Amino acid sequence: MAAETLDQIVSLCKRRGFLFPGSEVYGGLQGTFDYGPLGVELKNNLKRLWWQHNVYERDDMEGLDASILMNKLVWKYSGHEETFVDPLVDCKTCKARFRADRLGDMPCPKNPKKHPGECEGELTEPRPFNMMFKTQVGPIPDPESFAYLRPETAQGIFVNFANVLDSTNRKLPFGIAQIGKAFRNEITPRNFVFRVREFEQMEIEFFCHPGEDEATHEAFIQDHVRFWTERCGLSPERLTLYEVPKDELAHYSKRTVDIMYRFPIGVEELEGIANRTDYDLGSHTRDQEKIEITAAVQPNAHSTQRLTYFDQPNKKHIVPFVIEPSAGVDRGVLAILTEAYNEETLENGDTRVVLKLKPALAPIKVAVLPLKKNEPAIVEVAKSIKNSLQATGLMRAVYDDTAGIGKLYRRQDEIGTPFCITVDFDTLGREGDAALKDTVTVRHRDTMMQERIAISQLKSYLLERLV
Ligand code: ATP
């Protein structure tokens, strides 16, 4: 079972501090959200897992963290100034603006049972709207001193291709991975963090010989489906692959396959995996006329560097082809929350909300709870267990005594904490069974099964189960 409505997720996120609307005290800013204490942990865990999977566990990947602000010529030669547009229409009656290709997703502001254009309002002809945010650079307002906030992290990788190649001595094939913010002035941000104006991307630009691109593309599609299912816990039945039709491909793409997830709002894109050919390196390179570029690029009058690779066996400079897996962190968080969310009716008729997160993604790994908060000896042992687990530096551990034990378990279930440890009178050796002295109860979130573990074994017991 997973969340059925977006409202279930939105309300859990607000109530427990995963996500808050941006600038809420001033009425908000549309298309922005702030990650709260638990949200930032979940998001960081997702990014860490992605980096682990794509960088640390491979021999052919380097990392990068490029600036958000870049020379505006980057966006001229990347093609974004001209083509990074969505079709915009206005309603002549209510003056609201919509994305022409998404009218079916939008309610009419005056008559929410209808879609724009199906109501009395007449729509204007679609016109292109560029989604890049502009900002002034430097203290003097001058029409030429502006930069764009990057709408994708990818270009920071392309313009650093030669720097990374020279500093690492890499040979083809190899990739560069980056996680960072991207900004798009979406016409209609909506559906919680699914479509926002400020978001994060986890992207790889993987450089290979022309001719090896199609097989590399296929391998990334399979590998990233595995990432979302095996590592992040998304169920294979909720994931589908969508072959983007030729007439909908972005200007740089030869083929794009989207990994789609069944969100509560419908089946939508989680990650796009594109074959960007030699378009981007070809567009940004100096000496375009001296090298073979297959993609239709604009002549570049400004680049100061050759973004090529010297192919030793054939003794010539080539422009590598690029495979790009590009995933949204925020859509990843939303998919993971959707999948993990469960409302269960227990045997005694009570209900519980439980987030069945993979332990590696859980914001808090273990909660240490005293059976009685008025019993100083129990509290002391519980706090010392929490401190020693925390001191390992390997897990986020918390101590909580602000409610009765049943309520404390429910609270941890709701935020996805995989293990609760309870310290009781048996731990102190005050009850009849001497064998239970220095042991604690470990409660498992999903099954609610409880077992007795020696305090001395706790660390290794948990570490084995937290991967
Ligand atoms: P869509 O068609 O949904 O607008 P896109 O095809 O424009 O998405 P890409 O340019 O392929 O998206 O961006 C790569 C990834 O970045 C997407 O798969 C998505 O996860 C994420 N992403 C793109 N736009 C947004 C946004 N406005 N809010 C949140 N995430 C986004």
Indicate if ligand 1 lies below 6 Å from the C-beta of 333.
Answer: no
Query: 331, 333, 338: which to mutate for ligand 1, most atoms within 8 A of CB?
Result: 331
Q: What's the mean pLDDT in 422-429?
A: 95
Residue 178, domain member (yes or no): yes
Q: How far is it, in rounded angstroms, from Cα 346 to Cα 245?
A: 47
Residue 283, domain member (yes or no): yes
Residue 410, domain member (yes or no): yes
Residue 37, domain member (yes or no): yes
Q: How far is it, in rounded angstroms, from Cα 451 to Cα 440?
A: 8
- pLDDT tens for each residue of 140-152: 888 889 999 999 9
How high is the mean pLDDT of the chain?
95
**CATH of residue 396:** 3.40.50.800
Looking at the fold, whether 45 and 113 belong to one and the same domain comes out as: no
Residue 390: both structure tokens together: 């925390």
Q: How far is the CA of 248 from the centre of ligand 1 (A)?
A: 14
Residue 273 reports pLDDT greater than 80: yes
Q: How far is it, in rounded angstroms, from Cα 50 to Cα 201?
A: 11
- pLDDT tens for each residue of 305-332: 999 999 999 999 999 999 999 999 999 9
Indicate if ligand 1 lies below 6 Å from the C-beta of 195.
Answer: yes
- pLDDT tens for each residue of 152-189: 999 999 999 999 999 999 999 999 999 999 999 999 99
Indicate if ligand 1 lies below 6 Å from the C-beta of 80.
Answer: no
* Residue 465 parent element (H or E): helix 458-465
Q: Looking at ligand 1, which residue's alpha carbon is closest to its atom 18?
A: 271
Ligand 1 nearest-atom number relative to CA 203: 14
Lowest mean pLDDT among 21-35, 113-127, 245-259, 323-337: 113-127
Residue 393 has what pLDDT?
94
Indicate if ligand 1 lies below 6 Å from the C-beta of 271.
Answer: yes
Of the candidates 413, 438, 418, the one whose C-alpha atom is nearest the C-alpha of residue 428 is 438
The amino acid sitting at 464 is E
Q: How far is it, in rounded angstroms, from Cα 187 to Cα 125?
A: 16
Residue 107 has what pLDDT?
86
Question: Euclidean distance between the first and final Cα of the chain, in Å?
Answer: 23
Of the candidates 317, 309, 324, 344, the one whose C-alpha atom is nearest the C-alpha of residue 414 is 344
Residue 392, domain member (yes or no): yes
Query: Binning pLDDT at 50, 70 and 90, where does residue 110 land?
Result: confident
Looking at the fold, whether 302 and 289 belong to one and the same domain comes out as: yes
Looking at the fold, whether 167 and 29 belong to one and the same domain comes out as: yes
Q: How far is it, in rounded angstroms, from Cα 144 to Cα 126?
A: 29
Note down the domain range covering 389: 364-465
Looking at the fold, whether 105 and 192 belong to one and the same domain comes out as: no
Q: Looking at ligand 1, which residue's alpha carbon is closest to its atom 4?
A: 195
Q: Looking at ligand 1, which residue's alpha carbon is closest to its atom 31?
A: 328
Q: How far is it, in rounded angstroms, from Cα 198 to Cα 343?
A: 31
Query: 46, 326, 329, 338: which to mutate for ligand 1, most atoms within 8 A of CB?
Result: 326
Residue 356, domain member (yes or no): no
**CATH of residue 330:** 3.30.930.10
Three-state SS at 405: helix
Entry pTM: 0.95
* Burial degree of 466 (CB within 10 A; 0-12, 13-18, 19+): middle
Looking at the fold, whether 232 and 126 belong to one and the same domain comes out as: no
Residue 352, domain member (yes or no): no
Of the candidates 443, 289, 459, the one whose C-alpha atom is nearest the C-alpha of residue 369 is 443
Residue 224 reports pLDDT greater than 90: yes
Looking at the fold, whether 326 and 228 belong to one and the same domain comes out as: yes
- Whether the Cβ atoms of residue 215 and residue 268 lie closer than 8 Å to each other: no
Length of the chain: 467
Lowest mean pLDDT among 185-194, 318-327, 431-440: 431-440
Indicate if ligand 1 lies below 6 Å from the C-beta of 213.
Answer: no
Of the candidates 78, 107, 108, the one whose C-alpha atom is nearest the C-alpha of residue 92 is 108
Residue 312: both structure tokens together: 């030793």
Residue 409, domain member (yes or no): yes
